[in-house]
């Protein structure tokens, strides 16, 4: 197994990315942008977050900042709405419409239909 590249310097560089992501060419902070800035794979960021609480906090700040920028940019029309919608789905936003089916009395029980002139006993046994 290779030795880790994680260090205090990498943590500082990750924080630097959060401060300067726009100057580095990113519209929003992202794991991909941070990984490129640090010179590591994106999967490495998530591994470090599992192993190091401070790095986990840094990724959480990145995600919160990303969500905020997406909401602001999407609402103002500065960001492409389809891309904003796609990325916000990673933050548990959706445009799904949920429908519930219920009976007139508000329960989910099937209603009984009574037809006049029809016997309730449909058995053919005599």
Q: What is the structure's pLDDT at 27? A: 94
Q: What is the structure's pLDDT at 33? A: 97
Angle at 72 (CA atoms; ends 68, 73), nearest 5 degrees: 115
Question: Cα(35)–Cα(16) distance, rounded to whole angstroms?
Answer: 12
pLDDT at 24 over 70: yes
Structure tokens at 86: 């796609």
pLDDT at 118 over 90: no
Q: What is the structure's pLDDT at 29? A: 97
pLDDT in tens, 41-82: 999 999 999 999 999 999 999 999 999 999 999 989 999 888
pLDDT at 109 over 80: no
Count other C-beta atoms under 10 Å from residue 67's C-beta: 17
pLDDT in tens, 85-106: 888 888 888 877 666 666 666 6
Q: What is the structure's pLDDT at 97? A: 66
């Amino acid at each position: 197994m290779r030795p880790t590249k994680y260090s205090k310097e990498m943590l500082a560089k990750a924080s630097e990315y959060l401060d300067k992501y726009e100057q580095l060419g990113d519209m929003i902070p992202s794991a991909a942008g941070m990984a490129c800035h640090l010179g590591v794979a994106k999967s490495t960021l998530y591994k470090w977050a599992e192993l190091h609480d401070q790095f986990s906090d840094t990724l959480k700040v990145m995600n919160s900042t990303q969500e905020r920028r997406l909401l602001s940019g999407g609402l103002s029309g500065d960001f492409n709405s389809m891309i904003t919608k796609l990325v916000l789905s990673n933050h548990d936003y959706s445009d799904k419409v949920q429908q519930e089916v219920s009976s007139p009395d508000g329960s989910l029980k099937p209603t009984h239909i009574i037809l006049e002139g029809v016997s309730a006993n449909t058995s053919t046994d005599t």
